[in-house]
A and B are shown apart, each in its own frame.
Chain A
Amino acid sequence: MNRDDQDAEDTRDGRDRPDGADWPRFHAALDERMAAAFLALDEALAACGPALAFKPTPEEWSPLEVAEHVTLTDQFLLLLSGKLARKGRDRAGRGEHIPSFTPHLTLLDELGSSARRWDAPASMLPSGRMPLARVRSTLFEDRERCRAVLASLPPGAGALADASFSPLGTRFDTYQFLALIALHGERHARQIRRLTAAAQAST
């Protein structure tokens, strides 16, 4: 298969249209998105004040529990990202063809729709016993680990390995898993803000 054929195949696989594959720029944009998501989470938590333990109903999570859930989910997604990053680095090191277009991250935004939601598995349910300081320091470490995974990838190498992610019924490459961490964090930062506003309105 020549490179044009490979690129055509990439397009059929659901990647975006050829964009000249500015991988350094793509890495920077992804890094920025991850940083923004973790910052949003941290700011939302910092702004909680007495609302930190507020639960609209006994069944719903408090802002602190939401944040704990994010850390538990990050642990799983970072495991996958790290695993794929190792494969991607290995394949890049062996000279595999780096795709000439960047991954279709807008696909992930569709996952924000309610139709694509799924219940968090037991391993990602918050215990409610994690103190705020530990949640925030864990989120900081998660952010640093995300950066480190991304920084460990030669430009484009994250697109060389993917895995079937059955909760969403699709395959994601390293970049998409990192973007999923950001998307998940963004979503829950909004949830924490909503909960804080609801707590303030109820007092």
Chain B
Amino acid sequence: MRTVPIVLVGGGIAGLATAWWLAQLGAREVVLLERSPALGRSATGHSAAILRSASDELLLEEFALASARFLCDPPGGFAPRPLVERVGVVLLGRGRESPPQGWERRVAHQRHARALQPAEFARLAPWFRAHGEDAWYFPGEGRVDVERTVASFARGAAERGVELRTGAGVLRLERDGARHVLELSDGTLLATERLVLAAGGWSARLGRAAGSRIELQPTRRHLFLLAPRAGVDARGPIVWNERLGFYARPERGGLLACACDTAPGAPEQHAVDERALRAFRAAAGEHLGLDTTPDDGWSGTRTFASDERFVIGPDPDVAGLHWVAGLGGHGITAGAAAGELAARQLLGLPHEARFARAFAPRRLLGALVPTR
């Protein structure tokens, strides 16, 4: 049986970013395991590929902005050009008589966002119907080139010695003294003293097998591709109605849209639920003025901790077990920063204590009502 110092499980954005940062920061002999035949094909590959930093919680917003800087201005050698197409994000905020939300109060005083007048919003996104909400424009954000981001993390990690193994699912996980022993679907055994779970919706299942009490909940959300239509500028912004829960962005001449639905589900499920499709069509009528059957659709996985904060750090009970999971649909935006924080913690290097505290798995044990 082969023994390696660090084994990462999960070849999506969280696992790859962690592997890349570990390699950059000097770790040697790191193995990353991905159950699929290719990297970045599960939750990462089924995401809406949106970089959006605004959040009701300042801490999450700051974490997302750190990640956004990485993607918009990648370090030398990572990628030759930005990984974000800055088409802009328009957030529709408060309703007609509602007070501003937390992020609205903040961005009103920041330079990276500005209020849009209704006429300007109509010119930018004539295909989206606002319902009297205030509109905020974030011109520096937009669409992430997910394939290139995944490839850049993978290439950079591999160049510095990380072993990336696809088609290597974890069949069994056991303790052997201080080591975690993994039996893989390719028939091999691996042992490690530091096991990192970055497997999105599969992480909780693996954590339980390792003896952890941390619970994460995988959920599904549907995305639909609407046929090409006149008036949709491919360089147009992503529009997100925060209040009513609906977003859309130009894609292939049409629109990629989401009614922000939630359903339980296993992480390997990508098929469309008929009831979700019906609910989406009703929402598309309300927000896009369309009554049409989408050309395509799928469901992606979002995995949450009970307080919706990320889960990054050492397991409180199981020695040598580390989490980079529960990114709750924010993996594309926050994955790079999550990977850096996890890698610094694993290597015992300086890191931002406020993020480490906020995302520490320990916080999830014992609280009846998760608080922030």
A interface, CB within 8 angstroms of B = 1, 6, 73, 75-76, 78-80, 82-83, 85-87, 90-91, 94-97, 118, 121-124, 141, 144-145, 148-149, 152, 163-170
The answer to whether B219 touches A167 (Cβ under 8 A) is no
B interface, CB within 8 angstroms of A = 56, 96-102, 215, 217-220, 222, 245, 259-266, 269, 273, 275-276, 278-279, 283, 304, 306-308, 368-370, 372
Provide the residues of chain A in CB contact with B306, threshold 8 Å. Answer: 78-79, 82
Taking the closest CB of chain B, its distance from the CB of A159, in whole angstroms, is 14
Partner of B266, one of A82, A85, A122, A152: A122
Partner of B279, one of A73, A83, A124, A166: A166
The answer to whether A164 touches B261 (Cβ under 8 A) is yes
Measured in the bound complex, the distance between the Cα atoms of B263 and A124 in whole Å is 12
Taking the closest CB of chain A, its distance from the CB of B214, in whole angstroms, is 13
The answer to whether B269 touches A163 (Cβ under 8 A) is no
Provide the residues of chain A in CB contact with B372, threshold 8 Å. Answer: 86
The answer to whether A164 touches B245 (Cβ under 8 A) is yes
The answer to whether B269 touches A82 (Cβ under 8 A) is no
Task: Say whether, besides A76-B219, A90-B56, A170-B279, A163 and B264 are in contact (CB < 8 Å).
Answer: no
Closest partner residue, chain A, to B201 (CB atom): A123
Task: Say whether, besides A75-B217, A166-B261, A148 and B368 are in contact (CB < 8 Å).
Answer: yes
Measured in the bound complex, the distance between the Cα atoms of B101 and A90 in whole Å is 8
Partner of B308, one of A6, A83, A164, A169: A83
The answer to whether A149 touches B369 (Cβ under 8 A) is yes
The answer to whether B278 touches A169 (Cβ under 8 A) is yes
Provide the residues of chain B in CB contact with A76, threshold 8 Å. Answer: 217, 219, 264
The answer to whether B263 touches A122 (Cβ under 8 A) is no
Question: Count of A-B contacts with CB under 8 A?
Answer: 95
Measured in the bound complex, the distance between the Cα atoms of B273 and A130 in whole Å is 30
Measured in the bound complex, the distance between the Cα atoms of B102 and A65 in whole Å is 43
Partner of A123, one of B218, B222, B369: B218
The answer to whether A164 touches B260 (Cβ under 8 A) is yes
Task: Say whether, besides A78-B306, A79-B306, A95-B99, A124 and B261 are in contact (CB < 8 Å).
Answer: no
Taking the closest CB of chain B, its distance from the CB of A181, in whole angstroms, is 13
Q: Tell me whether chain B's interface is mostly helix, strand or loop, or mixed.
A: loop
Taking the closest CB of chain B, its distance from the CB of A124, in whole angstroms, is 6
Closest partner residue, chain B, to A80 (CB atom): B262
Provide the residues of chain B in CB contact with A86, threshold 8 Å. Answer: 308, 372
Provide the residues of chain A in CB contact with B99, threshold 8 Å. Answer: 94-96
Provide the residues of chain B in CB contact with A73, threshold 8 Å. Answer: 264
The answer to whether A123 touches B275 (Cβ under 8 A) is no
Taking the closest CB of chain A, its distance from the CB of B183, in whole angstroms, is 19
Provide the residues of chain B in CB contact with A6, threshold 8 Å. Answer: 97
Provide the residues of chain B in CB contact with A122, threshold 8 Å. Answer: 265-266, 269
Task: Say whether, besides A82-B307, A122-B265, A164-B245, A90 and B260 are in contact (CB < 8 Å).
Answer: no
The answer to whether B56 touches A145 (Cβ under 8 A) is no
Q: Tell me whether chain A's interface is mostly helix, strand or loop, or mixed.
A: helix
The answer to whether B279 touches A167 (Cβ under 8 A) is no
The answer to whether B217 touches A1 (Cβ under 8 A) is no
Measured in the bound complex, the distance between the Cα atoms of B224 and A166 in whole Å is 14
Interface centre among A73, A80, A83, A166 (most CB of B within 10 A): A166
Measured in the bound complex, the distance between the Cα atoms of B216 and A79 in whole Å is 10
Provide the residues of chain A in CB contact with B283, threshold 8 Å. Answer: 164
Provide the residues of chain B in CB contact with A168, threshold 8 Å. Answer: 275
Q: Could you jot down 16 A-B contacts, CB within 8 Å? A: A76-B219, A78-B306, A79-B219, A79-B306, A83-B304, A90-B102, A97-B97, A123-B265, A144-B368, A164-B259, A164-B260, A166-B273, A166-B275, A166-B276, A169-B276, A170-B279
The answer to whether A94 touches B98 (Cβ under 8 A) is yes
Provide the residues of chain A in CB contact with B275, threshold 8 Å. Answer: 118, 166-169
Measured in the bound complex, the distance between the Cα atoms of B276 and A118 in whole Å is 12
Closest partner residue, chain B, to A152 (CB atom): B369
The answer to whether B245 touches A163 (Cβ under 8 A) is yes
Measured in the bound complex, the distance between the Cα atoms of B367 and A145 in whole Å is 9
Measured in the bound complex, the distance between the Cα atoms of B372 and A117 in whole Å is 35
Partner of B215, one of A75, A148, A166: A75
Closest partner residue, chain B, to A94 (CB atom): B99
Taking the closest CB of chain A, its distance from the CB of B216, in whole angstroms, is 9
What are the 10 closest A-B residue pairs judged by CB atoms, nearest first?
Answer: A166-B276, A169-B275, A122-B266, A164-B261, A166-B261, A148-B369, A94-B99, A148-B368, A166-B263, A76-B264
Interface centre among A78, A79, A96, A148 (most CB of B within 10 A): A79
